[in-house]
Structure 1
Amino acid sequence: MDTAGIQKHSFGQTEINWDKLHKTKFYVVGAGIFSGITVGLYPMSVVKTRMQVASHDAVERNALSVIKGLLKTDGIPGLYKGFGTVVIGAIPTRIIFLTALETTKLTALKMLVPFKLSEPTQAAVANGVAGLMASFCSQAVFVPVDVVSQKLMVQGYSGHATYTGGVDVVRKVVKSEGIRGLYRGFWLSVLTYSPSSAVWWATYGASQRVIWRFLDDGNAAPTEGKILLVQAAGGISAGATSTCVTTPLDTIKTRLQVTGHDKRPTTKQVVRSLIADDGWIGFYRGFGPRFFTMSAYGTSMILAYEYLNKKCSKYHNEFPPVLGGMLGPFT
């Protein structure tokens, strides 16, 4: 077997490089798998967004009350406000993200070889740079989708406008603000998601390898179950770290993106409002749902990607279980 596209790791396991995947199969099968995961975790995004934009006197200000309120007024569909927009926009966003992620990671790993870094450090740097670049490249598509979906998530809540659907949101935003309205909060989004992606990937890459060092007994290769547990632990660690670092920026960004044009605040005004309402803790509104979403979403994506990566490899029948992990949160 040609091993040019295989990257060796401890326990004799391997990671499958980008140039050794069947790209068409990867994108088609991946679209189905990742969309299925999104269906299960999407409600937490709706809850998180509503908590972040709630006014000071809003009755529903914690996760449980928001869920109860949505179910009471809209039933189960209320937990999926804006879902159609997200699913449609996710396809091009993920293609851009994945392509930038994999190609950047491969390039970064090659550039780091002369520095002779330890494996955890090398993984942290390469994964962090790849995550940063992938998120930055995908923002051009992601931000308009984010603006539209979040307006749908909070419509009719805490004084926010109502819409008939995603097309109606786009029409009204463009009419009042032009195309720029769909990119409201663009640089704040970049400052939120790019570092979040970098931190997520750096933490995941390093923590996974540190865990393996503790588990390495020098004997037989680990079972597939142990590999999955290590990947899940790495995903949870990455989710916790990136959530703590970036939630304040995410709260500010969300408020900027969902506020109507007639009363659009500045970033400084949003910051002052949050501090006036809740003090510094206000920047962490929606922290619980966001932590759950990032940890569960990232871990699920990692495990799904490992399966997908193996199935779409040109060496499908020759590969042992994949040790690495190359796909976490998409933004």
Structure 2
Amino acid sequence: MVDSMIASLPFFKTLPKKGCGERDKLTMEGHHEHSHHGHSHQHDHGHGRGGEHCHEHSHGASHSHHGHSHSDFDIQGLTGKEIAAGAIAGLVEHIGMFPFDTIKTRVQDEGSSVKSVVRNILKNEKWTHLYRGCVPVLCSAVPAHGAYFSIYEASKRYFTKSRGEKEDSVFTIAVSASAATIAHDAVTIPFDVVKQRMQIDAKGVYASSWQCMRSVVRNEGFSKLFVALPTTAAMNIPHMTAQWLVYERLKEALVRRGKEEDEMALPFVFAGFTAGAVAACVSTPVDNIKTRLQLGKDASAAEAVRSILRTRGARGFLTGVIPRICHMAPSAALTLGTYEFAKSSLDTVW
């Protein structure tokens, strides 16, 4: 029932058919074992259902380690297709999920319930305030997500090949996720500071995101834009590592049971949703510390920890966990689903 409902969604049902490309490999129903002919550049641990055709195609220029077409980079390098697909995924995800992030930030700032925050916004503010601070995030999302996904994929290819792995190990996924996360955070953190200041600005003190950024730099110093970078990295590295580990393994397990091509929506959506929920739980305590730093409530992570313990107790570190799950789970499903869809679509024209 769930499979058929998800598979019927037009957005995912229309994934292009590509013979022996990455999407067919995800069916895990091929007739070939991993061999000297080489793996796909995405290493999704399976081959397509194309039989003899797939066997021959493994020697070709597009997906072989022994040769590349004019549109492919070296196996260790970045690909324009992955950069573009990642940028599209970031744009779609941030536009769709931004209101949930605003609610989460308000809950962590005020210590109120989700219901109370939503009711207060609807009663005393405009609904458009749910998107306050969205502009700087969108400006950073495109390059940040493009770099994030391409570095993750390139790192996986590099470590899988250099370590002689037949499938991506926990080490490979963890290191690849960490490298991608650091690159992503270096781009987004200043914009994230502005975003959160705008999100809690219920009275409209700042006329625009640009004014907010200038105010922070003028009154608190340029370094304030990066004050939460170490904490953000400490939160996002385990968060994204957990998300990718769950996603890759769960998607692989689900795909093994897939029977129809249009059921490929299930691994992308369900695996992404579950991975996002697990990762959100893991990273919520550090997210509370990061939020206090970026809102200027505390000068250091240690001070933020003491403040949370003093005012809310140990349970305070889980403040906002529900809205965070409500934000991160569908966000991961949307991001990863869009990325897979965009990459598959680009395969037909790239």
TM-score (norm 2): 0.74
Tell whether the 8 Å contact from 1:71 to 1:78 is kept in structure 2 after alignment: no
Q: Does 1:287 align with 2:333?
A: no
Residues 287 and 306 of structure 1, relative CA distance in 2, 3 Å threshold:
same
The match for 2:273 is 236
Change (3 A) 1:33 1:236: closer
State the partner residue of 1:254. 291
Equivalent residue, structure 1, for 2:101: 45
Q: Tell me if structure 2 keeps the 8 A contact 1:124–1:204.
A: no
Do 1:26 and 1:312's aligned partners in 2 also have CA atoms closer than 8 Å? no
**Within the alignment, does 1:153 sit opposite 2:207 as a pair?**
no
Matched with 2:33 is: none
- The residue aligned with 1:10 is 46
* 2:32 matched residue in structure 1: none
Larger helix proportion, structure 1 or 2? 1
Asked if 1:178 is matched to 2:193, the reply is no
Contact 2:81–2:343 at 8 Å: present in 1 too? no
Are positions 1:96 and 2:152 aligned together? no
Amino acid at match of 1:244: C
Secondary structure of 1:10's partner?
coil
> Mapping of 1:33-112 within 5 angstroms?
34-54=90-110, 61-112=112-163
Please state how far the C-alpha of 1:308 moved relative to its aligned partner: 0.8
Which residues of 2 match residues 172-321 of structure 1 at below 5 A? 172-213=215-256, 215=257, 222-259=259-296, 264-313=298-347, 316=348
Report the Cα distance in structure 2 between the residues aligned to 1:295 and 1:54, rounded to whole angstroms: 23
2:205 to 162, 166, 180: 162
Structure 1 residues 317 and 266: CA distance shift in structure 2, 3 A: closer
Contact 1:67 1:79 in 2 (8 A): no
Q: Distance in 2 between matches of 1:124 and 1:211?
A: 18
Percent of residue pairs bearing the same amino acid type? 26
Match of 2:171 among 125, 138, 144: 125
Q: Distance in 1 between matches of 2:72 and 2:338?
A: 18
Q: Within 2, Cα distance between the matches of 1:212 and 1:29?
A: 21
Deviation of residue 25 (structure 1)? 6.3
**Whole-Å Cα distance in 2 between the matches of residues 12 and 209 of structure 1?**
14
Per-residue CA distance 1:262-295 (angstroms, 9 max, x = gap):
xx44323322222233321111111111112111
d(CA) in 2 for partners of 1:62 and 1:101? Answer: 36
Q: Distance in 1 between matches of 2:244 and 2:93?
A: 19
1:251, distance to aligned residue in structure 2 (A): 0.7
2:250–2:267: 8 Å Cα contact kept in structure 1? no
- In structure 1, C-alpha distance between the alignment counterparts of 2:284 and 2:273, rounded to whole Å: 16
Note if contact 2:86-2:147 (Cα within 8 Å) is conserved in structure 1.
no
Residues 82 and 166 in structure 1, CA contact (< 8 A), matched pair in contact too: yes
Q: 1:252 to 1:74 in 2, by over 3 A?
A: same
Structure 1 unaligned blocks of 5 or more: 56-60, 216-220, 319-331
CA offsets per residue over residues 152-172 of structure 1, 9 Å max, x none? 111248xxx932221112112
Alignment deviations for residues 124-168 of structure 1 (CA, whole Å, 9 cap, x no partner): 4333221111011122211101111011111248xxx93222111
Contact 2:97 2:331 in 1 (8 A): yes
- 8 Å CA contact retained: 2:273, 2:331: no
User: In 2, distance between residues paired with 1:156 and 1:235?
Assistant: 32
| CA offset digits 1:70-129 (Å, max 9, x no partner) | 122222201111011111121221222123212111112213325x6xx4xx35433322
Question: What letter is aligned with 2:46?
Answer: S
Question: Which deviations, in whole Å up to 9, do the C-alpha atoms of 1:216-270 show, x marking residues without a partner?
Answer: xxxxx7313332112322212211221121110011101111126xxx4432332
* 8 Å contact from structure 1 (residues 132, 194) kept in 2: yes
Greater mean deviation of Cα atoms: 164-173 or 222-231: 222-231
Q: 1:232 to 1:180 in 2, by over 3 A?
A: same
AA at the equivalent of 1:165: S
In 1: Cα distance, 2:299 partner to 2:308 partner: 12
8 A Cα contact 2:90 2:145, kept in partner: no
- Alpha-carbon distance in 1 for matches of 2:80, 2:44: 25
Structure scoring higher RCO (CA < 8 A, sep ≥ 6) equals 1
Question: Which amino acid counterpart does residue 234 of structure 2 have in structure 1?
Answer: L
TM-score by length of 1: 0.78
In structure 2, list runs of 5 or more residues that go unmatched.
Answer: 1-19, 22-36, 55-61
